[in-house]
Amino acid sequence: MKKNVFAFVFAVSMTAGCAFGAGAFKLGGTAPLTGGAAIYGNAAKNGAQIAVDEINAAGGIRFELNYEDDTHDAEKAVNAYNALKDWGM
């Protein structure tokens, strides 16, 4: 059910962006890119980057991806989230 809701919201946002001539959609994430859990964060980041690259290569809608390092720490995760908000995600 959650996947269907996400897919619907994603499709509506992409359609609305195209209709109003939006630039690139800004996507972001926080993950441990350094430290003991970095293998998981880097895997997620790399997977997201591959998807963005493939979508951008197909033409049409453009995406920008920005990942922030939270080093597997709660306080740094909040700072990383705020940095993504400031970026315009």
pLDDT score of 5 more than 90: no
pTM, full prediction:
0.71
Residue 52 within a domain: yes
Strand intervals (E) in the chain: 25-31, 63-69
Residue 68 within a domain: yes
**pLDDT tens profile 38-87:** 999 999 999 999 999 999 999 999 999 999 999 999 999 999 999 999 99
Residue 35 within a domain: yes
Residue 60 within a domain: yes
Helices in 36-73 by DSSP H: which ranges?
38-58
Residue 7 within a domain: no
Domain count, the chain: 1
Residue 31's domain comprises: 24-87
DSSP state of 34: S
